[in-house]
C-alpha cells in the first residue's frame, strides 16, 4: 500500500530543530513501509518521490541516534548508510548524512573519502559503472508575517562513467563538487530570498554500466562525423570490435576504409580464443594480452565530449584508439529514471579513432574556457602521452592557459 510520508517527515524535522523527543517507532515504521512500497510497480515520478522520502526518514533517524549517542561533533561528522532502491539498474544507493558541517564545500570535501571507499569496493566487482549524486539541503526564508519557512532543495549531477582507470579524486571534483556548488551559488543568488539552513545528506547512486548490446553499424553523430577523425566500418554482425581493430591495422592506402570487404582477408591475423562476441569491455585486456595489441576505448558524453572508459595497462607497439558510441545520447539530468533503459535498450558500436587529437580538439579550444581546457588536459594526460603530436599540443595549450 502506497503511503505519503511528507507530513510525517515535516513534523519529525520540526521536532529535530526544536530538540524535542521523537518516537523512533514512527520513523522505523515509515522506513519499513517505504521500503516495501519501492518493491511494488511504480511510475517514474512515484519511484523518485518514495525514494526521496525514504532517504529523508533514514537521515532523520541517523541524526536523532547521533544526538542521543553522546558522541562529540569531532568524533562523528558524517556517516554513510545504504538505502534500498526502486531502480533495477542500481548496483547500490547510499547516502552520506551530515551532522556538523554548515558549509556545503566543506561537507562535500569531507564526504569524498566515504565516496571513494564505496566506489572502489564497487569497482572491485564491476569494471565500469555510472554514478550520479543528489545533495539535499534545508533552506529557509522569512514569510510576510515574520515567521521562518523551511523547504528542501535538491541539487543533482549527471550520470557519469567511472572505470577502474578513473582518477576518483579528479572525477569527484569535476562531477560532484564543482557542479553542485555552482548550482547552489546560482540558486542563492537568483533573488529568491532562500538561504541555506542545514545540509541534510548526499545521496549517491551507483548504477550498472554494461554495454553488452554491442554490434552492427550505427552512424556517428553529425558533430563527430564532421571531424573526420574516425573510421566507422559498416558491419551488420556482432564483430564491430574486430572490424575496428582491423581498420586500424590494415586500412592504410585504402580508399573505402568503412567497408568490411576491405578487411576480410586479414580476419585470421587476430586471435579471439576464449572471447565471446559482442566484445565486452572486461574482455579487452584478454584480447590485448593474446594479440600484443594495446587498446584505449573512449565514449561520448551527452554533450559529445570525449572521455576514456578503458585505458590499457601496457602500451604495445601496435596501439589502437577506439570510440564506443551509442545509438542515442539521452540527457542524464533526469538520472533517477535511468533504469527505463530496460524498456528502451541502448545499442553500442566500436569505431576506430584514426586521429585522436582532431576528435578532442574542441575540448581543448578556448571556446570552452580556460578552466575546462585545463581540466581536459589534467584528466586526459595518460591518454595523450601515447601520441607525441598530441603531447606537444597539450603543453602548448597548457602554456597558453597558465599565462
**Residue 165 in domain:** yes
Among 158, 182, 208, which residue terminates a domain?
208
pLDDT at 344: 54
CA quadruple 261, 220, 333, 347: dihedral, nearest 10: -20
Are 144 and 254 contained in the same domain?
A: no
Burial letters 106-134, b for 16+ CB under 10 A, else e: ebbebbbebbeebbeeebeebbbbbbbbb
The reply to whether 102 and 31 lie within a common domain is: yes
Residues 37 and 169 in one domain: yes
- CA 278 – CA 218 distance, rounded (Å): 14
**Torsions phi, psi of 36, nearest 5?**
-70, -40
Residue 167 forms part of a structural domain: yes
Last residue of a domain, one of 208, 231, 266: 208
**Nearest residue to 130 (alpha-carbon basis) of 13, 220, 211, 26:** 211
Dihedrals phi, psi of 327, to nearest 5 degrees: -85, -5
Q: Evaluate whether 25 touches 60 at the Cβ level (below 8 Å).
A: no
Q: How many CB atoms lie within 10 A of CB 277?
A: 15
Q: What are the distances in angstroms from CA 236 to CA 239, 243, 244?
A: 8, 11, 13
CA atoms within 13 A on the CB side of 194: 17
What gap in Å lies between CA 90 and CA 338, rounded to an integer? 9
Q: Do 226 and 203 sit in the same domain of this protein?
A: no
Residue 296 CA to residue 192 CA, distance in Å, equals: 47
* SS3 (DSSP) at 305: coil
The reply to whether 144 and 273 lie within a common domain is no
| Residue where one domain finishes, among candidates 176, 208, 240 | 208
In terms of domains, do 318 and 169 share one? no
Please indicate, yes or no, if residue 189 is contained in any of the structural domains. yes
Burial of 309 (0-12, 13-18, 19+ CB in 10 A): buried
Apex CA 138: angle with CA 132 and CA 139, to 5°? 120
Peptide bond just before 349 cis, omega within 30 deg: no
Do 288 and 140 share a domain, yes or no?
no
Q: Is residue 377 part of a domain?
A: no
Same domain as 38, residue 175: yes
Task: Output the pLDDT for position 175.
Answer: 94
Domain that holds residue 147: 6-208
Helix (H), strand (E) counts: the chain: 12, 11
Same domain? 310 vs 164: no
398 falls within a domain: no
Q: At what angle are helices 24-37 and 44-69 packed, to 10 degrees?
A: 150
pLDDT at 302: 77
CB neighbour burial string for 344-381, b if at least 16 within 10 angstroms, e if fewer = eeeebbbbbbbbbbebbeebbeeeeeeebbebbbebbe
In this structure, is residue 380 part of a structural domain?
A: no
Residue 117 lies in a domain: yes
Same domain, 202 and 284: no
Query: Are 265 and 203 part of one and the same domain?
Result: no
Are residue 245 and residue 295 in the same domain, yes or no? yes
pLDDT in tens for each of the 403 residues of the chain? 678 999 999 999 999 888 899 999 999 999 999 999 999 989 888 998 999 999 999 999 999 998 876 555 567 899 999 999 988 889 999 999 999 999 999 999 999 999 999 999 999 998 889 999 999 999 999 888 888 999 999 999 999 889 887 889 999 999 999 999 999 999 988 777 899 999 999 999 999 886 656 778 999 999 999 999 999 999 999 999 999 999 999 988 788 999 999 999 999 999 999 999 989 888 999 999 999 999 999 999 878 889 888 999 899 999 999 999 988 775 443 343 344 444 456 789 999 999 999 999 887 664 444 434 444 443 444 344 444 444 444 444 444 444 4
Number of domains in the chain: 2
Category of 319 on φ-ψ map: left (φ > 0), alpha (ψ -120 to 50) or beta: beta
Q: Reduce the DSSP state of residue 56 to 3 states and report it.
A: helix
CA atoms within 13 A on the CB side of 366: 7
CA distance 126 to 380: 22
Which residues does residue 153 pair with via DSSP β-bridges, in sequence order?
Answer: 137
Q: What is the pTM of this model?
A: 0.68
Asked if residue 187 is part of any domain, the answer here is: yes
Phi, psi of 71 (to 5 degrees): -75, 140
Closest CA to 59 of 261, 199, 231, 266: 199
Amino acid at each position: 500500500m502506497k503511503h505519503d510520508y511528507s507530513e510525517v517527515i515535516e513534523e519529525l524535522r520540526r521536532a529535530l530543530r526544536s530538540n524535542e523527543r521523537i518516537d523512533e517507532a514512527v520513523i522505523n515504521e515509515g522506513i519499513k513501509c517505504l521500503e516495501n512500497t519501492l518493491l511494488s510497480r511504480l511510475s517514474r515520478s512515484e519511484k523518485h518521490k518514495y525514494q526521496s522520502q525514504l532517504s529523508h526518514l533514514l537521515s532523520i533517524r541517523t541524526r536523532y541516534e547521533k544526538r542521543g549517542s553522546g558522541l562529540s561533533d569531532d568524533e562523528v561528522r558524517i556517516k554513510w548508510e545504504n538505502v534500498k532502491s526502486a531502480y533495477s539498474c542500481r548496483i547500490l544507493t547510499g547516502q552520506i548524512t551530515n551532522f556538523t558541517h554548515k558549509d556545503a564545500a566543506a561537507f562535500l570535501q569531507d564526504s569524498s573519502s566515504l565516496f571513494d571507499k564505496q566506489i572502489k569496493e564497487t569497482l572491485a566487482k564491476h569494471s565500469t559503472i555510472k554514478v550520479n549524486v543528489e545533495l539535499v539541503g534545508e533552506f529557509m526564508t522569512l514569510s510576510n508575517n515574520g515567521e521562518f519557512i523551511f523547504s528542501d532543495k535538491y541539487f543533482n549531477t549527471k550520470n557519469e562513467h567511472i572505470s577502474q582507470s578513473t582518477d576518483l579524486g579528479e572525477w569527484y571534483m569535476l562531477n560532484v563538487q564543482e557542479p553542485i556548488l555552482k548550482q547552489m551559488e546560482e540558486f542563492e543568488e537568483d533573488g529568491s530570498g532562500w538561504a541555506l539552513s542545514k545540509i541534510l545528506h548526499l545521496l549517491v547512486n551507483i548504477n550498472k554500466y554494461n554495454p553488452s548490446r554491442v554490434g552492427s553499424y550505427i552512424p556517428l553523430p553529425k558533430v563527430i562525423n564532421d571531424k573526420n577523425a574516425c573510421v566507422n566500418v559498416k558491419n551488420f554482425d556482432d564483430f564491430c570490435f574486430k572490424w575496428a581493430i582491423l581498420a586500424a591495422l590494415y586500412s592504410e592506402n585504402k580508399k573505402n576504409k568503412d567497408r568490411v570487404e576491405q578487411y576480410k582477408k586479414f580476419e585470421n591475423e587476430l586471435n579471439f580464443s576464449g572471447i565471446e562476441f559482442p566484445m565486452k569491455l572486461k574482455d579487452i585486456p584478454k584480447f590485448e594480452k593474446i594479440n600484443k595489441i594495446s587498446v584505449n576505448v573512449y565514449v561520448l558524453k551527452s554533450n559529445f565530449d570525449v572521455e576514456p572508459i578503458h585505458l590499457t595497462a601496457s602500451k604495445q607497439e601496435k596501439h589502437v584508439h577506439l570510440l564506443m558510441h551509442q545509438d542515442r545520447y539521452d540527457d542524464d539530468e533526469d538520472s533517477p529514471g535511468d533504469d527505463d533503459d530496460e524498456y528502451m535498450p541502448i545499442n553500442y558500436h566500436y569505431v576506430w579513432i584514426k586521429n585522436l587529437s582532431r576528435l578532442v580538439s574542441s575540448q581543448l579550444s578556448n571556446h570552452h574556457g580556460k578552466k575546462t581546457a585545463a581540466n581536459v588536459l589534467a584528466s586526459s594526460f595518460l591518454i595523450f602521452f601515447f601520441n607525441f603530436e598530441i603531447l606537444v599540443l597539450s603543453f602548448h595549450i597548457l602554456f597558453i592557459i597558465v599565462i
